[in-house]
A and B are shown apart, each in its own frame.
Chain A
């Protein structure tokens, strides 16, 4: 089983809709969790860290479920500019593992 798994998508979502995707991790000793976004042919950019109590940044909400070993990202009122690949990242001690990403297409 891969240490970090994401549905590759693509998720095709109309503008203004709410979309959510999950990322599962296999090692219960994982300590830190992050979401990054990566635009086509660009570098990944930190979207948000994911805290145990969940956290929100504008239209974006991240949740951590340690019991079921997954993190989630919810995007409300989606914009065309949200089209990107969303990478889940998990840290365990010195080891940082990137998921392969979920592609999101927002449709006008």
Chain B
């Protein structure tokens, strides 16, 4: 079974803090993704990566950066957290045919 894990299920941070969200997959997938999901807006792609040290902007990259130093790990960084970044963050990895497998999500609250 594909397993995607995320470092925290729930996180509360203060405005201006730097926030790291970690994602690890165990299926040797090359593709990895970060999404956020908000009520009424659905899933929106923040960043994705096709290989180690490769990254591509998704639809809403502003205020975020990513790091992929190892194939199995894809990190999302909020450089200076703001209240409008309160959301559910979902990491996924995918097969070469883009069947995606999601982690359990991190519910981030920025106060």
Contact = CB atoms under 8 A, between A and B. Distances in A.
Contacts of B103: 43
Interface string B16-56: 00000000000000000100000011110100100000001
Contacts of B42: 87, 98-101
Interface in A9-54: 32, 34, 36, 42-46, 49
Contact of A96 (B41, B90, B98, B105): B98
Contact of B102 (A43, A96, A100, A101): A43
- Taking residues whose C-beta sits less than 8 angstroms from the other chain, chain B's interface range is 10 to 19
Contacts of A96: 33, 45, 98, 100
Q: Is the interface of B mostly helix, strand, loop or mixed?
A: strand
A47 B99 CA distance: 10
A79 interface: no
Interface residues of A, number: 18
Contacts, number: 40
A91 interface: yes
A94 B55 CA distance: 12
A49 B99 contact: yes
B104 interface: yes
A34 B95 CA distance: 13
Contacts of B45: 96
Interface of A: 32, 34, 36, 42-46, 49, 87, 89, 91, 94, 96, 98-101
B84 interface: no
The 5 closest A-B pairs by CB, nearest first: A43-B102, A100-B42, A98-B43, A91-B98, A43-B105
A43 B56 contact: no
B56 A94 contact: yes
Given A34-B100, A44-B102, A91-B98, 20 more contacts: A34-B99, A36-B100, A42-B104, A42-B105, A43-B90, A43-B103, A43-B104, A43-B105, A44-B90, A44-B100, A46-B99, A46-B100, A49-B99, A87-B43, A89-B100, A94-B48, A96-B45, A96-B100, A98-B42, A100-B40
